[in-house]
Structure 1
């Protein structure tokens, strides 16, 4: 395969057009147990990471918000309450199984009034220019085939003064944390995946995809290349996770 036509799928190199299909298969496999696994894998800390991201968002009543890779709606549900009936939140995901579960969860919580659901590819968003005050993507950017194209697409749909928040696994910065984190990622995660979902391979991919994702400084530079300004990042849990924020002016 020509290297220019390939991309990473975990530690594998696959044709660029195959990655979306392979990622879709991963999330279709784990969709029904996704929330349970998130709690187990992070010992519940993912809720604190998401809460911190929501606090950084600065969402106000009446604003339109786009939550990409929205999964089961952890962020979108909170934003729906914050923007109120005058606002609108689009819970978007490329994966039909995840989107279905998210929609059912939001309906069960009575949050359908100002929520829309859309199956979209982050690389080519089907929304108007200058439309959203906030775009978020939590634990989804590392699964995108062309991250630079996705960042440009997010920039396009943001209003001037709008902001992007990227919550994603990143690189540990605390001395001595990396070997412990690696041991946990490549032993405990696949084992939990096998026991809870019957799928160890998807969680092995998860660990690999985290290592292939750009580190904090590289992602910051990618956001700036896409047009974002005042770009900054916040390390959480010793850099295991980071929140990047950038503005469109």
Structure 2
């Protein structure tokens, strides 16, 4: 009988040490069309979710912000404008393809001076304790192998008084809407993925990974366990997405 530790990759059970590789393959595959697919899948609503995250971040000129699992840089772009020349934004992603797409996009839009790029694993962030005024992780936490360890790592590098914002797919609050959403997720998304990126499997994984992610109350408890205070969450689009926020004491 094997004692090998396992975890979930979508609905599949895989060796814990293999999950990072499988997730990496998904994002290497979709990186080039990631922004286009986000617009198509959410009908553009992801922009409103991210705008709300920026509003809840309390970001101010001169601050240091970590955009974790920042992918193609949507939040980094907005934070860069807010913190200004006296501030700093670190765009970090574990996936080199996503980080490259984000870097290219930001440079194409003439963002450079106050942005750094760091390839890093959320479970073991390569930053000093108490480094950041604010950390955001948007649509990235569900892909992390050990979410609790990642939340503790984020809390460690937050400054006292700093805040962590987790924007992630969650559990719809209306059962009827949830059924419609399920049908959309498991039929339309893979079809769209095959059409646009020639990759249905990655978008089937997306739908499955959302269902395996902790619900709103469970994630709130996990953030408290990681050492965050005044943890709350806000359901967006009927709970399809939730924004969790916590402060470091």
TM-score > 0.5 by shorter chain? yes
Q: Does 1:206 align with 2:206?
A: yes
- 2:30 maps to 30
After superposition, the C-alpha distances for 1:81-127 in whole angstroms (9 at most, x for unaligned) are 00000000000000000000000001011111000000000000000
Q: Mark the CA change 1:238 to 1:224 in structure 2 (over 3 Å): closer, same or farther.
A: same
What are the equivalent positions in structure 2 for 1:220-239 lying under 5 Å apart? 220-239=220-239
Q: Does 1:80 align with 2:44?
A: no
Contact kept? 2:170, 2:210, Cα under 8 Å: yes
Please, what TM-score do these two structures have when normalized by structure 1?
0.99
Task: Give the secondary-structure state (helix, strand or coil) at the position aligned to 1:62.
Answer: coil
Alpha-carbon distance between aligned partners in 1 of 2:234 and 2:127, rounded to the nearest angstrom: 29
Stretches of structure 1 that go unaligned for 5 or more consecutive residues are none
**Cα displacement (A) at 1:174:** 2.1
- 2:146 maps to 146
Moved over 3 A (4+): 1-4
Question: Once superposed, what is the RMSD of the aligned Cα atoms?
Answer: 0.9
- 2:119 maps to 119
- 1:58 maps to 58
Alpha-carbon distance between aligned partners in 1 of 2:219 and 2:231, rounded to the nearest angstrom: 10
**Cα displacement (A) at 1:4:** 6.6
Alpha-carbon distance between aligned partners in 1 of 2:230 and 2:2, rounded to the nearest angstrom: 37
Q: Mark the CA change 1:226 to 1:3 in structure 2 (over 3 Å): closer, same or farther.
A: farther
Instruction: Identify the range of structure 1 (102-111 vs 2-11) with the bigger mean alpha-carbon deviation.
Output: 2-11
Q: Mark the CA change 1:16 to 1:152 in structure 2 (over 3 Å): closer, same or farther.
A: same
Q: Does 1:188 align with 2:188?
A: yes
After superposition, the C-alpha distances for 1:203-223 in whole angstroms (9 at most, x for unaligned) are 000000000000000000000
Please, what TM-score do these two structures have when normalized by structure 2?
0.99
Alpha-carbon distance between aligned partners in 1 of 2:42 and 2:20, rounded to the nearest angstrom: 25
Stretches of structure 2 that go unaligned for 5 or more consecutive residues are none
Task: Give the secondary-structure state (helix, strand or coil) at the position aligned to 2:217.
Answer: helix
After superposition, the C-alpha distances for 1:125-152 in whole angstroms (9 at most, x for unaligned) are 0000001000000000000000000000
Contact kept? 2:27, 2:95, Cα under 8 Å: yes
Task: Give the secondary-structure state (helix, strand or coil) at the position aligned to 2:243.
Answer: strand
**Cα displacement (A) at 1:35:** 0.3
